[in-house]
Amino acid sequence: MLRKYRLKSTFMELLMTDSPSGKEGNLAKLLSSILEDMGLDLGFDSANRVTGGDTGNLIAYLPGDDTLSPLMLNAHLDTIKSTKGSTPLIKGDIIKSDGNSILGADDKSGIACIVEALRIITENKLPHPPIEVVFTVCEENGLLGAKNLDYSMIRAKMGYAVNTGSPLAVVVGAPYHNGITVKVFGREAHAGDALSRGINAIKVAADAISKIDSGQIDEETTANIGTISGGTATNIVPGFVEVKAEVRSHNEEKLERKTKEIASKFEESCELFKNEIEGKIVTPTVRYEIRREYNAFKIDEEEEVIKRALNAAAGLNMEMETCLTGGGSDANIFNEKGIKTALIGTGMKNVHTKREYINLEDMLMCTELLIKISMCHNQTTKGSR
């Protein structure tokens, strides 16, 4: 029933359509044409008024048995960076980046699997509930599409985000995420003639960073110092530096504790670098902004959305397990908005790197699973929810 060549062809067409965050318009047009040819109804919201991008979220509707509760399928249109000028390499069933940029399997493999599943369902007139397909924008730069989605366009209360690795695992939970921006203010001075009258903001920040325990903190928590920028010239003592960091945890108490710890290290370092300048004690200062990027979710394995995925896998003789992820996705936002959403994998590997690749067989497995899930959904009526 599955058409391997067609899935591959669709995926390659998607990969060759550049769609970095905020510039998903061409890909949205391509998908609109594909979905309209399949007979789906389409709509766009106005999320781009907030994101500043060239298109809003694309929502498509496949009519189904209206006595059944709608099912949502989701993938995101954007890639972490541009793939313009790159040509995917194909060797057998392996499709990989040519090394000039990312491949874009995150998340164009998810889009391709959803499209092929919809084609099989419509061509074979398989029984299914109403299916709502949500292709979001700006997932990679803060889940902005999902955060600004017009939820009045969505009826489904459960669904699947097709945006993770192994197709043999259903993701039932993802962490909280705090973003941290730290601004350290020192004192500029000439680096040759007036060195003693300056306070090096980069040294203050470096001291704090050296004392922060980052990486894998425990099995639930991670912390990362992501960027540092500051200074204007080699002959000027830098008076300002900005550091961006993040903390993720499946435990909110641990998240907040680690976030406060990072902020406190910068405050402590400021005290260590105070300097007497022109008869006065001058202490560097720090300001920080803490943002809750998204909240965690954890879905009980007895919930219908998880049982349905596991039952679908069993029906295909696939040994599927449940797991947690350390990354965030649109599913975090959907769950917060009351749409029970688990993650299904496509087989994407080494995402966000020039070593990204995917096996077409994994994509076929994901597509089969999506079809089976849609048919399993046929077993639950509105009245039984």
Q: Where are the domains of the chain?
A: 4-174+296-384, 176-294
Is cis: bond before 66, omega within 30 of 0? no
Strands 340-345 and 158-164 come out as: parallel
Of 75, 74, 85, 76, the residue nearest 18 (C-alpha): 85
Could you report the per-residue pLDDT of 306-352, keeping only the tens digit for each? Answer: 999 999 999 999 999 999 999 999 999 999 999 999 999 999 999 99
Tokens of 259: 């976030």
Tokens of 82: 């541009």
pLDDT of residue 384: 34
Categorise residue 327: left if φ over 0, alpha if ψ from -120 to 50, beta otherwise: beta
Could you report the per-residue pLDDT of 240-269, keeping only the tens digit for each? Answer: 999 999 999 999 999 999 999 999 999 999
On the question of pLDDT at 290 being above 50, the answer is yes
pTM comes to 0.92
Q: Look-up: residue for tokens 């979220």?
A: 57
Is the Cβ–Cβ distance between 180 and 288 less than 8 Å? yes
Q: How far apart are CA 112 and CA 117, in angstroms?
A: 9
Dihedral angle, C-alpha 346, 18, 76, 175, nearest 10 °: 80
In CATH, which of 3.40.50.10310, 3.40.630.10, 1.20.140.10, 3.40.50.1580 is domain 4-174+296-384?
Answer: 3.40.630.10
The answer to whether 78 is a known catalytic residue is: yes
Count of all residues that appear for the chain in the document: 385
- End-to-end alpha carbon distance in the chain: 31
Q: Which of 139, 140, 356, 368 is catalytic?
A: 139
Q: What is the mean pLDDT of the chain?
A: 96
Q: How far apart are CA 208 and CA 204, in angstroms?
A: 6
Could you report the per-residue pLDDT of 68-127, keeping only the tens digit for each? Answer: 999 999 999 999 999 999 999 999 999 999 999 999 999 999 999 999 999 999 999 999
Q: What single letter denotes the amino acid at residue 21?
A: S
Q: Look-up: residue for tokens 């089976």?
A: 372
When pLDDT is cut at 50, 70 and 90, the band that residue 2 belongs to is confident
Q: Which of 18, 24, 45, 78 is catalytic?
A: 78
In DSSP notation, 150-213 reads: -GGG---SEEEEEEES-TTEEEEEE-EEEEEEEEEE-B-EETTTSGGG-B-HHHHHHHHHHTS-
On the question of pLDDT at 377 being above 70, the answer is no
Which class would CATH give 176-294? Answer: alpha beta
Is the Cβ–Cβ distance between 309 and 377 less than 8 Å? no
Tokens of 53: 């991008």
pLDDT of residue 376: 76
Q: Note whether 4-174+296-384 and 176-294 share their fold.
A: no
